[in-house]
Amino acid sequence: MVAGASATAASLVVSGNAAAQEAAAETLPDGIGEPGRRVLIKGGVVLSMDDDVGNFAVGDVLIEGSRIIEVGANIDAGDAAVLNADGKIVLPGFIDTHHHQFETALRSQLSNGILINDGRPANEQNYYDTILQKFSLVYRPEDVYINELFGSIAQLDAGVTTVMDVSQIHHSPEHSDAAIEALGDAGRRAVFGYFEGWGDRAKYPQDARRIKEQYFSSDDQLLTMVMGGEIYLPGYEESWKIGRELDLPVALHVVGTFGMQPTFDELGAAGQFGPDNIFIHMTGMSEDGWKHAADAGAHVSLAVPIEMHMRHGTPPIQKAIDMGMDISLSSDVECTMTADMFTQMRGLVTLQRMEANAKALAGEDYPELMTTLDAVKAATMGGAKGLKLDSKIGSLTPGKEADIILLDSEAINVAPLNNVPGAIVTLMERSNVDSVIVAGKVKKWKGQLLGFDVPRLTSELEQSRDYLFEAAGVERNLFA
């Protein structure tokens, strides 16, 4: 544990001492959590996201340890502990392929902001200048820890069982260690994105070797690692080199408004792209750049609501589809937009259909309309493929890790259930996430997170926020 963060961890992570958590935990069926005891999720509406497994109007999922061992109807599981899923949709956990969790204490602070200043006074408070070059510079390791931990468990509450954390906060090795510690303490699956930091003590990208050896020597764990390789930063070539030397995927933001197109196209033409690349946004890029990315088998992570809101450019949904590329979804920044997958799925499907429908109404040829099932796929298997974890997660497939969520289909905003993916994408939100399981362990049950003193965590996050505003010299104005 990191100095400063370790005491915080010990004081914050507790075992369900809040009354609501205790009440929920008391309703867990006997046998849950017993070593060697199998668990049967019984009688739910099963959306497996695996064509070979299929879907079940009434089905079961059998878990042994951390893995799924059977999916079907009326599974005979002997003395397995039974989780009753009646009235619930059972599906793989959501996967967020790009989330800046270090900004959790800054939620909504930049709700009206755009990406970079365009010279208008109203846009002086923008993401690059305000968040990256003002707030982020004053983070201490303890701020990194509480922001990362709180952001992680908040997403767990929303059914996001896996994240790629893109925290551009690596001002020292201690900052990096605090981020990794928090991701681990949250108890969900996470990909640690080692991106840049600033200041005299920043060791990016060279510290990647130490981090990989110390924390990520095994692939058989909840935490894995990705190398950040932003091509708008001087010396990005070294980041790519180290990432590939360490056999890590290389992820980067690709945004035309940042002037990246020439460098991106040159890298593609030089054969530098590969299936290990995760390209975030891909807005405003050239035909050549798209062809190079597609030919290399690179992945595209889209943050549709953010891209529309913050002027990254039009989200290239149809372009990625036309190029035959897999799409995943990302929440990006909570300083501007919420970090749940329901918002992302709705943004994806409605924008694609809006653009296609506009062509249809104009009498033009138009592409196939995206379906709600396509959106759920992007939020599950799409994310798993993007993070190179599709052999482990993304579908309810026997042999895969048991990252599973139960969504309440009898809630007042959903009942009666008529179409499963339609209900998930067009009707649901985070309050419908009834239960969450990560690697076979119950992390949320009957609407309550288990194992965290959320009021105390909230207080610690508020203290971090107060410090960050004061240190950055930014006035908190609740109505600006």
User: Residue ranges of the domains in the chain?
Assistant: 10-93+395-449, 94-386
pTM metric for this prediction: 0.95
Structural class in CATH, domain 94-386:
alpha beta
C-alpha to C-alpha distance for 232 and 264, rounded to whole angstroms: 10
B/e letters for 150-173, b = 16+ CB within 10 Å, e = fewer, are bbbbbbbbbbbbbbbbbbbbbbbb
The pLDDT value given to residue 419? 98
Backbone angles phi, psi at 181, to 5 degrees: -60, -45
Which residues on neighbouring strands pair with residue 461, listed in sequence order? none
Burial 29-43 (b: 16+ CB within 10 A, else e): eeebeeeeebbbbbb
For residues 452-469, give the mean pLDDT.
Answer: 97
For 91-111, what is the mean pLDDT? 98
pLDDT at 11: 41
With a cut of 80, say whether residue 178 has pLDDT above it: yes
What are the b/e assignments for 219-244, b being 16+ CB within 10 Å? eeebbbbbbbbbbeeeebeebbebbb
Region 73-93 average pLDDT:
96
Per-residue DSSP letter, 430: G
Rounded Cα–Cα distance for residues 153 and 313 (Å): 31
Side-chain-side CA neighbours of 469 within 13 Å: the count stands at 14
Pick 27 or 318 by higher pLDDT: 318
User: Tell me, what DSSP letter sits at residue 49?
Assistant: S
**Position 14 pLDDT exceeds 80:** no
**Rounded Cα gap, residues 250 and 231, in angstroms:** 11
SS3 17: coil
Quick check: 22 pLDDT over 80? no
Per-position DSSP letters for 191-247, written without gaps between them: EEEE----STT--TTTTHHHHHHHH-S-SSSSEEEEEE--TTSTTHHHHHHHHHHTT
Fold match, 10-93+395-449 / 94-386: no
Q: Which helix (H) or strand (E) holds 143?
A: helix 141-157
- What pLDDT score was predicted for residue 18? 58
Decide if pLDDT at 21 tops 80: no
Contact between residue 80 and residue 38 where contact means Cβ atoms under 8 Å apart = yes
- 99-118 mean pLDDT: 96
Give the separation between CA 450 and CA 277, rounded to whole angstroms.
35
Angle at 152 between CA 188 and CA 478, to 5 degrees: 170
Look at residue 24 in the predicted model and tell me its pLDDT.
72
Confidence label for 67 from pLDDT (cuts 50, 70 and 90)? very high
Tallying the residues shown for the chain, one arrives at: 480
For residue 250 the two structure tokens come to: 């290389």
Average pLDDT of the chain is 94
Decide if domain 10-93+395-449 falls under CATH 2.30.40.10. yes
pLDDT of 331-390, one tens digit each? 999 999 999 999 999 999 999 999 999 999 999 999 999 999 999 999 999 999 999 999
Average pLDDT over residues 134-143: 97
Between CA 136 and CA 333 the distance in angstroms is 13
Which residues on adjacent β-strands are paired with residue 442? 437
Give the tokens for residue 284. 């405003």
State the chain's maximal CA–CA distance in angstroms: 68
